[in-house]
C-alpha cells in the first residue's frame, strides 16, 4: 500500500469539495488548508509518520496550562504529538471538584504513568487580570473566584506592589504555585506517591515577551511539604458483611 499516494488522493478530494463550498470563512478555510500542509510536511519527511502516530501514545508529561491561544504546550516545549498529555482551562486552575481536570489527572497519573505534571501559567494572563479587577464578566466570575482566593491568601505581599503589571505577574506566579499545591493535595497524587517515587509536580510561568519558561522552583515529588491537615492515611477498603 502506498500510504503517501493515498494521503495525496484524499487531500485532493477534500480540496475539490471545498472549492464548491463558498461559504467557508477565511480563518476556517485556513485551518483546513493548514491541516493539509501539516500532513504533507509530515509524510514527505516520513511516509510512516501517521501509521506510527496512530499506534498509541506514551507521554511522560502532563501539561495543565491556560487556554490562552499563545501558550500551546507542544510549541512552548518544542515537543511532538505523542509526547505531552494536555489539559487547559482559563488561568490554569486546578480545583479538586473539577471532574474534567481530575479525570485527566487520574488518567495521566494512573494509566499513562506520567513522570511530570506541569502547571503552566503565563505572564499577562487575561484570566488572572480579570480576577484582579472588580468587573463582572458573567459565568466566568465563578471560575475566576478561585484566583481571587489566591489573592486573599497572599494579599499581604500583593497589596504592597504598586505597579499594576507587576502585581498581575506576581499573582500569575502565586496562582501557579497554589495550583501545584492543589495537585499535591489531591488523593490522586498522594496515592500515586505512596506507590512510586518518580512522579513530580512542577510550576512554570511562560514569558510571552521572550518565549522562555520561568521555573517557579516549587517542584514536589512527595507529600513532605503538605500541611498536616491535608495528609491522608492509606485507603482502607471496608467490606460489608
Ligand atoms: Zn492565561
Domain ranges of the chain: 3-52, 57-225
How far does the chain reach from its first CA to its final CA, in angstroms? 60
Distance from C-alpha of 69 to C-alpha of 83, rounded to nearest angstrom: 19
Grid cell 477498603 is found at 237
Measured in degrees and rounded to the nearest 5, phi and psi for residue 112 equal -75, -20
Superfamily of domain 57-225: Carbonic anhydrase (3.40.1050.10)
Q: Please give the distance, rounded to the nearest whole angstrom, from the Cα atom of residue 123 to the centre of ligand 1.
A: 8
Instruction: Look at 5-14, 29-38, 66-75, 198-207 and tell me which has the smallest mean pLDDT.
Output: 5-14
For residues 227-233, give the mean pLDDT. Answer: 76
Tell me the average pLDDT of the chain: 91
Q: Please give the distance, rounded to the nearest whole angstrom, from the Cα atom of residue 178 to the centre of ligand 1.
A: 15
- Other beta carbons within 10 Å of 130: 19
Q: Which residues are catalytic?
A: 66, 68, 70, 122, 125
pLDDT for 14 beyond 70: no
pLDDT for 164 beyond 80: yes
Distance from C-alpha of 222 to C-alpha of 203, rounded to nearest angstrom: 15
> Which band of pLDDT confidence, cut at 50, 70 and 90, is reported for residue 1?
very low
Task: Provide the pairing of β-strand 200-206 with 116-122.
Answer: parallel
Distance from C-alpha of 91 to C-alpha of 93, rounded to nearest angstrom: 6
Q: Please give the distance, rounded to the nearest whole angstrom, from the Cα atom of residue 186 to the centre of ligand 1.
A: 23
- Other beta carbons within 10 Å of 167: 18
Question: Does pTM surpass 0.75?
Answer: yes
pLDDT for 17 beyond 80: no
Task: Enter the C-alpha cell of residue 124.
Answer: 499577562
Distance from C-alpha of 147 to C-alpha of 138, rounded to nearest angstrom: 15
The C-alpha angle 22, 27, 30, rounded to 5 degrees, equals 80
Contact 88, 67 (CB under 8 A): yes
Q: Please give the distance, rounded to the nearest whole angstrom, from the Cα atom of residue 39 to the centre of ligand 1.
A: 29
DSSP H helices in the chain: 3-20, 26-45, 49-53, 73-77, 99-106, 126-132, 140-153, 155-158, 164-185, 187-195
Contact 230, 181 (CB under 8 A): no
Distance from C-alpha of 68 to C-alpha of 76, rounded to nearest angstrom: 13
pLDDT of amino acid 226:
79
Amino acid at each position: 500500500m502506498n500510504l503517501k499516494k493515498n494521503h495525496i488522493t484524499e487531500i485532493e478530494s477534500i480540496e475539490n469539495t471545498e472549492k464548491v463550498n463558498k461559504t467557508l470563512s477565511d480563518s476556517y478555510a485556513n485551518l483546513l488548508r493548514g491541516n493539509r500542509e501539516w500532513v504533507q510536511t509530515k509524510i514527505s519527511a516520513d511516509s510512516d509518520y501517521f501509521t506510527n502516530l496512530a499506534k498509541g501514545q506514551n507521554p511522560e508529561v502532563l501539561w495543565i496550562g491556560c487556554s490562552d491561544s499563545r501558550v500551546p504546550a507542544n510549541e512552548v516545549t518544542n515537543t511532538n504529538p505523542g509526547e505531552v498529555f494536555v489539559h487547559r482551562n482559563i488561568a490554569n486552575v486546578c480545583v479538586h471538584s473539577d471532574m474534567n481536570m481530575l479525570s485527566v489527572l487520574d488518567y495521566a497519573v494512573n494509566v499513562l504513568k506520567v513522570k511530570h505534571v506541569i502547571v503552566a501559567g503565563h505572564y499577562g494572563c487575561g484570566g488572572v487580570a480579570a480576577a484582579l479587577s472588580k468587573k463582572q464578566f458573567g459565568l466566568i466570575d465563578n471560575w475566576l473566584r478561585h484566583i481571587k482566593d489566591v489573592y486573599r491568601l497572599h494579599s499581604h505581599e500583593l497589596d504592597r506592589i504598586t505597579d499594576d503589571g507587576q502585581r498581575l505577574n506576581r499573582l500569575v506566579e502565586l496562582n501557579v504555585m497554589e495550583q501545584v499545591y492543589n495537585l499535591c493535595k489531591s488523593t490522586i497524587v498522594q496515592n500515586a506517591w505512596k506507590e512510586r517515587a518518580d512522579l513530580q509536580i512542577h510550576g512554570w510561568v511562560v514569558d510571552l515577551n521572550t518565549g522562555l519558561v520561568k521555573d517557579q522552583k516549587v517542584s514536589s515529588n512527595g507529600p513532605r511539604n503538605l500541611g498536616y491537615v491535608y495528609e491522608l492515611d492509606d485507603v482502607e477498603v471496608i467490606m460489608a458483611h
